[in-house]
Amino acid sequence: MKLSLLRSLLLVFSLFFSGQALAVAVDEEVIADPALETRARNIMTGIRCLVCQNQSIEDSNADLAHDLRRIVRERVEAGDDDDQVRAYLVARYGDWVLLRPPFKPRTFFLWFAPLIFLTGGIVALVFALKRRRDAPTSPEPLDAAEQEKLKKLLEERQGE
């Protein structure tokens, strides 16, 4: 029983990952030199398919993605370095074509927002913990008058 559960889990996991591998678009005209092809593929994974928007051109089958892949390969073969290929596409489609937003003043908030929220959360947590620690842990001991009152109340209840 336990074994079959483990097996099915393994199956689910392996299917999950194999699915990802299959999602890579089947191409067409690859560069003969494997090193250049690998470089081109690497660039493609960071380029947004503008039609499907949240896919990279590497795993999209859209027509435009295919055309952009061809351009990436052409630029790589022509001897452009990775940044030059990206700059070529950014000049035509803007920063949006990059799946990883560039780090520049306009995007500072984007990049630093998680840090700002984390700092805010830590500060809030510290304050909350501090308040809890400063709060009295056990109530003040009863004074004589209160002891007397308590005793009376308990006696009353026992009498009931």
Partner 1 sequence: MKPVHLLPLGLFVLIAAALAVGLTLKPRDIPSALIGKPVPAFALAPLHESESPFTDEDLKDGKARIVNVWASWCVPCVAEHPILTDLTAAGVSVYGINYKDKPEDARLFLRRLGDPFAKIGVDPDGRTSIEWGVYGVPETFVVSGDGVIVYKTISALTRETVNSEILPLLKELNGGAE
Structural contact between residues 23 and 58, judged by C-beta atoms closer than 8 angstroms: no
Tell me if 135 sits within 8 A of 128, measured CB to CB: no
Write down the least CB distance from residue 45 to partner 1, Å. 19
Q: Which is nearer to partner 1, 3 or 135 (CB)?
A: 135
Closest approach, Cβ 122 to partner 1, in A, equals 16
> Based on the number of CB atoms within 10 Å of its own CB, is 57 exposed (0-12), middle (13-18) or buried (19 or more)?
buried
Site residues (CB under 8 A) for partner 1, limited to 53-112: 53, 63-64, 67-68, 71, 90-96
In the structure encoding, which two tokens stand for residue 41, read together? 């593929």
Residue of the chain from 50, 80, 98, 99 that contacts partner 1 (CB under 8 A):
50
Cα separation, 2 vs 148, in Å, equals 64
**Residue 111 Cβ vs partner 1, minimum distance, rounded to whole Å:** 17
Structure tokens at 104: 């520049």
Closest distance to partner 1 from the beta carbon of 65 (Å): 10
Q: Which long-range contacts (CB under 8 A, 24 or more apart) does 127-131 make?
A: none
Nearer to partner 1, 90 or 99 (CB): 90
Residues in touch with partner 1 (CB under 8 A): 50-51, 53, 63-64, 67-68, 71, 90-96
